[in-house]
């Protein structure tokens, strides 16, 4: 596949995410897919994870800032936004609007996504959903956050 075709697969994946349509993943994700972030194997596990995300953040939306392809990999600089309305990993719903910016690295083989690894600021995410709070010292060190 060409680099442009690989990027188009990932654009379709993001479109499915924004539509909250896990049925579209059958066409895009390999049955033996591996997600390094959540240590998940398989298409069905990935679909379950995304279904949970859609329940927890019912208005979740992903914006692509940049997309770069090289070889069998596609890098995506993205931003997710959504409202935390249901329990997530034992964290009660905060009602907070969250923003998560990061990079996903997708690997494609035989026209399907076979692997994903991501980098994002989990500390900021946990702060946004109310799990982590700055101490008084932290507030003095980082006053721009308040």
What residue ranges do the domains of the chain occupy?
A: 3-145
This prediction's pTM: 0.88
- Please report, for residues 2, 44, 71, the alpha-carbon distance to residue 109 in angstroms, rounded to integers and kept in the order given: 11, 18, 10
Distances (CA, A) of 120 to 10, 16, 27, 37, 87: 18, 21, 27, 10, 20
Residues in the chain: 146
Grade residue 54 by pLDDT with cuts at 50, 70 and 90: very high
Task: Tell me the pairing of strands 112-120 and 73-83.
Answer: unpaired
Looking at the chain, the whole-number percentage of residues with pLDDT higher than 70 is 98
Summarised one tens digit per residue, pLDDT across range 84-136 is 999 998 999 999 999 999 999 999 999 999 999 999 988 899 999 999 887 88
CATH 3.10.450.50 fits 3-145, yes or no: yes
State phi, psi for 56 to the nearest 5 degrees.
Answer: -70, -40
């Amino acid at each position: 596949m060409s680099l442009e075709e690989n990027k188009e697969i990932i654009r379709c994946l993001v479109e499915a995410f924004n539509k909250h349509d896990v049925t579209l993943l059958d066409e895009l994700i390999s049955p033996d897919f591996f997600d390094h972030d959540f240590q998940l194997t398989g298409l069905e596990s990935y679909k379950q994870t995304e279904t949970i995300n859609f329940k927890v953040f019912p208005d979740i939306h992903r914006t692509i800032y940049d997309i770069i392809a090289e070889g069998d990999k596609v890098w995506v600089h993205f931003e997710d936004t959504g409202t935390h309305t249901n329990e997530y990993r034992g964290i009660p719903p905060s009602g907070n609007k969250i923003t998560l910016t990061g990079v996903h690295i997708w690997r494609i083989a035989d026209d399907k996504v076979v692997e994903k690894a991501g980098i994002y600021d989990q500390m900021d995410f946990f702060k946004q959903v109310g799990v982590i709070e700055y101490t008084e010292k932290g507030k003095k060190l980082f006053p721009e956050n308040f």
